Structure 1
Amino acid sequence: MNCLLWFFYGLPIVHPNSTLVLTINGIGLVIEGAYIIIFIIYAAKNTRWKMLGVLAIEAAFMAAVVAGVLVGAHTHEKRSMIVGILCVIFGSIMYASPLTIMGKVIRTKSVEYMPFFLSLVNFLNGLCWTGYALIKFDIYITIPNALGTIFGLIQLILYFYYYKSTPKKGKNVELPTVLTKNTVTSGNVSVTVDK
């Protein structure tokens, strides 16, 4: 949803001269679309139907946004403002989603559930887009990405603070025990021995 909204925001009919926003989010839509298709192919039947329901709701919401903006707002400024506000909301939600994991890190004093590289990329992504937004003076790109930079930095600080207290999992591999049975027969008596 976030990528769809940013793609719509970058279209010339909404916010002219946003080629970078349009291309990056267009590529993101293709990659995410491939991921969703693969997920739906291999998901269990119940999960597949739930995901298709969520996608239908998102498609209906996006269709309503597109129709409402194109019919109701007749200037680039109004279209940019409406779609920009939605982008700020959904972009902020995307960047804030790791906050639940950050709470778990503080409670458990372990970074086991917060991958370092995901936190690093979250921070760098927010930083790059904030820099871009400040160059272009685009408040709608600045707000969610500045929040993303702050949230990413907090994640990295938490990671380094709790990294040493995280219990290390051993790399020992426990092999399964295999029992073999030997049957010894003597006269009328049979005995089975487990080895």
Structure 2
Amino acid sequence: MISIDGIRTGVGIAGNVISLGMFLSPMPTFIRIYKKKSVEEFSIVPYVATLMNCMLWMLYGLPVVHPKSFLVLTINAAGSSIELSYVILYLIFSSGPKRLKALSLFLAELVFVATIAVVVITCFHTHERRSLFVGILCVIFCVMMYLAPLTVMRLVIQTKSVEYMPLFLSVASFFNGLCWTIYAQIRFDLFITVSKYILAIQFLSY
């Protein structure tokens, strides 16, 4: 007989695969940027927002913060690496105010996450308090990550083209949210549940 933990692990693995697909879905955009040597009208905001979200969930998944969250830790470590590569490519092929904006956001994120990690480890001494503090931050920045693509909506309306809002990213986001919601309900995790409800709202907005 399959245990509850076994089912949860299976759902979590499926969630990891779908999440990986979501993280990789902007690749055509960055291949285009690489070929044209220009970021054109693409915005850095969704990618730095996603990077921040991944780094915070990585912190949440650490054994010293929220034990038994290995799948949360691994997928967000992978997501951080992928989003970091997008940000670096954007910095390379942007210039002027766009590059300055991207660099400022990126550096601010690194300082912020490092500060949060130090505060959590030194000021909170139980898993419950660490999970609560980091979990609240994860939900806040999850809102930023899932609402950041809405900044592209104005461009879509102006150009009457969806080239700046890939459909695959939206579909992957939906199935990612569905899978992780199931994962969070099997062994209830408030913060994962709330964040994935937000994801569902973002998908419906498209």
Normalised TM-score (structure 2) = 0.66
Q: Deviations over 1:77-136 (max 9, x none)?
A: 000000000001111222223445568889999867654322212211111111111122
Letter in 2 for 1:133: A
Unaligned runs of 5+ in 2: 1-51
Out of 66, 72, 81, the position equivalent to 1:15 is 66
Q: Determine if the alignment matches structure 1 residue 64 to structure 2 residue 115.
A: yes
Q: Which protein has the bigger helix share?
A: 2
2:65 aligned counterpart, secondary structure: coil
Map residues 66-145 of structure 1 onto 2, 5 A cutoff: 66-99=117-150, 114-145=165-196
Contact 1:123/1:150, CA 8 A, preserved across alignment: no
The count of residues paired between Structure 1 and Structure 2 equals 155
The letter for the 1-side match of 2:133 is I
- C-alpha distance in 2, partners of 1:123/1:99? 15
> Following TM superposition, by how much is the alpha carbon of 1:71 offset from its aligned partner in structure 2, in angstroms?
0.9
State whether structure 2 residue 105 is matched by structure 1 residue 54: yes
Q: 3-state DSSP class of the match of 1:41? A: helix
| Distance 1:113-1:40 versus aligned 2 partners, 3 A rule | closer
Alpha-carbon distance in structure 2 between the residues aligned to 1:22 and 1:64: 19
Structure showing the higher strand proportion among its residues? 1
Backbone CA RMSD of aligned residues: 2.6
Change (3 A) 1:55 1:124: same
Q: Which structure's CA Rg is the greater one?
A: 1
Cα pair distance change 1:93/1:16, threshold 3 Å: same
- Tell me the distance in 2 between the aligned counterparts of 1:35 and 1:103: 22
Following TM superposition, by how much is the alpha carbon of 1:49 offset from its aligned partner in structure 2, in angstroms?
3.4
Greater alpha carbon shift after TM alignment, 40-49 vs 136-145: 40-49
Give 1:31's aligned residue: 82
TM-aligned CA distance change 1:150 to 1:49, over 3 Å: closer
Do the aligned residues in 2 keep the contact of 1:129 with 1:142 (CA within 8 Å)?
A: yes
Q: 1:144-180 CA distances to partner (integer Å, 9 max, x unpaired)?
A: 111212331342xxxxxxxxxxxxxxxxxxxxxxxxx
User: Using the alignment, how far apart are the partners of 1:114 and 1:26 within structure 2?
Assistant: 25
Report if aligned partners of 1:125, 1:149 keep a CA contact under 8 Å in 2.
Answer: no
Looking at both structures, which has the greater relative contact order when contacts are Cα pairs under 8 Å and sequence separation is at least 6?
A: 2
| Identity value in percent | 52
Deviation at residue 43 of structure 1 after TM alignment: 2.2
